[in-house]
Amino acid sequence: MTASQEPDQRKAARQRYVQELLRLYLATPGVAGRVRRADRDLARTLFEQNVPLYAVANAFIVAAARRVRHNAYSTPMPPIQSLHYFRAPIREMLERPPGYRDIEQLRQLLLSQR
């Protein structure tokens, strides 16, 4: 691999990461369904910080499940307007990752709400 190919490969990897992250974001229950420039910028930042996609995906599941549980007991919350909503849950997934069973239970909760 030449030195000029490496930046191209990194750029392609970043593009794949950002696309997949934004696809997961839009598929998350409670998200308004729009991607803004700030969302793309945050996705790129997460790539540059080497945040694994699985941690981001788990953060989406955990935050969405918390909203579902909250909405069951009170007035429904407004739709999520920005990827920035998930910054704290992403940090939480990096600091204290939940177990596989926990994520699967939350995923099933979300699927039962559809």
**Sign of torsion over alpha carbons 113, 35, 56, 78:** negative
Candidates 30, 93, 91; CA nearest to 64 is 30
Structure tokens at 101: 């069973």
Reported pTM: 0.87
> Which tens digits make up the pLDDT trace of 50-60?
999 999 999 99
Helix (H, G, I), strand (E, B) or coil at 80: strand
- State how far the Cα of 42 lies from the Cα of 2, in Å rounded to an integer: 29
> Which tens digits make up the pLDDT trace of 32-82?
989 999 999 999 999 999 999 999 999 999 999 999 887 667 777 899 999
- State how far the Cα of 69 lies from the Cα of 63, in Å rounded to an integer: 10
Give helix 87-95 / helix 53-73 axis angle, nearest 10°.
120
